[in-house]
Amino acid sequence: MIYLLLSILFSSGLFVIFKFFEIYKIDVLKAIVVNYVIAFILGFLFSESNFSILEVPKQPWFLGSIFLGILFIAIFFVMAMTSQKNGVSVASVAGKMSVVIPVFFGIFLYNESFSFLKIIGIFIALIAVYLTSFREQKSTLQKSTLFFPVLLFLGSGTIDTFLKYLEINFVPKDDVSIFSGSLFGIAAIVGSLFLLIQQLKQPTSFGIKNLIAGILLGIPNYFSIIFLIKSLQTKGFESSMLFTINNVVIVVLSTIFGVILFKEHFSLKNKIGIVLAVFGIIMVAMS
C-alpha cells in the first residue's frame, strides 16, 4: 500500500509542476525532453542490478520498453492537441477515464476478482473522475475534433495495460529501476528528435528556466512510475483495484491542489465528484 500512496503523491505533484510551467511560460517540449533524460539517469543510478547499459538491449523487456517509451512521448503530444482542440477538462477526463481499459484486461486476462460490488465501485469511480475533472469552460466535441480525445483515451489505457503485461511477464523486481530508466531513455531520444525538427524550423535558445523545469519534473516523474510498478508487483494487490484507486485519487488530489495552491474554482460538481470518489474507492477496496 505504501508504494501506491507514494506513486499517487508523486503523480499528483506533477500536476503542480505543470501549473507552474504555465505561470512561468516554460517551453513544455524542452522541459519534457530534459525530464525524460533526468528520469533515465535516475533509473540507472538507483538500479538494484549489476549490469552495464550495454546489456540492456539483451533484456527480455527491452522491446517492450521501446514501445512504451515511444508511446509516452506520443501521448504527451496527443494530450496537448486534445487540450487545444477540445479544452483542458476534456483532456483530463479522457486521460483518466481510460482506467477502464487496464481494469477490463485485469479482470478478463489475469482472472482477477469480478463482483457486483467491484463493478458498481468502478462505475461510481468513473463518474467521480468526470465530475471532479469538470471545469466550466468552452469545449467542443464535434466529430471533426473527436479523434484526439478518443486517441488519448486509448493511448493512456494502453500504457497502463502494457505496463502491467510487462511487469507480470518480463520485469524481475531487481530490474524495475533499469526498466523504467530504459523506457524514459527511449522517450528522451524520440522527444529530442521532435525538438531537433522544431529547432531546425524555428531556432530558439534552450533557456536555463526550461532546463531547471525539466529537472524538477523528471525527479517526481521517475518515482511515480517506479512506485506504480512496485505496487503492481505487490502480491494480493489486483491491478483492476490498483489502477482504479490510483487514477481516482490522483484526480481528487490534483483538484484539491488546484484549489489550495492556485485558487481554482471549486464547483458543486467537483465536490460531488470527490464524495463519490471516496465511496467508489471504498467499494472497490472492500470487493
Identify the pLDDT of residue 136.
62
Share of residues in the chain with pLDDT > 70 (%): 92
- Interatomic CA distance for residues 156 and 94, integer angstroms: 9
pLDDT computed for residue 56 by the predictor: 84
Rounded Cα distance between 185 and 65, Å, is 9
Q: What is the CA radius of gyration of the chain?
A: 19
Q: Looking at residue 186, what is its pLDDT?
A: 93
Give the integer Cα–Cα distance in Å for 139 and 87.
Answer: 5
The listed range with the strongest mean pLDDT (60-64, 115-119, 236-240, 281-285) is 60-64
pLDDT of 286 higher than 80: no
Q: What is the pLDDT of residue 84?
A: 63
145 pLDDT above the threshold of 90: no
Q: Is 267 left (phi over 0), alpha (psi -120 to 50) or beta?
A: beta
Is residue 87 predicted with pLDDT exceeding 70? no
pLDDT recorded at residue 58: 87
pLDDT, the chain, mean: 84
- For residues 24 and 72, give the distance between their C-alpha atoms in angstroms, rounded to a whole number: 24
Question: pLDDT category, 245, cuts 50, 70, 90?
Answer: confident
Name the pLDDT band for 287 (thresholds 50, 70, 90).
Answer: low
Does the structure show a pLDDT above 80 at 209?
A: yes
pLDDT for 51:
66
* Residue 10 near residue 251, CB atoms below 8 Å: no
* Annotated domain spans of the chain: 2-286
Q: What is the average per-residue pLDDT within 113-119?
A: 81
pLDDT at position 70 is 92
Mean pLDDT of 77-96: 72
Burial grade of 204 (CB within 10 A; 0-12, 13-18, 19 or more): exposed
Across residues 146-172, what is the average pLDDT?
Answer: 88
Look at residue 149 and tell me whether its pLDDT is greater than 80.
yes
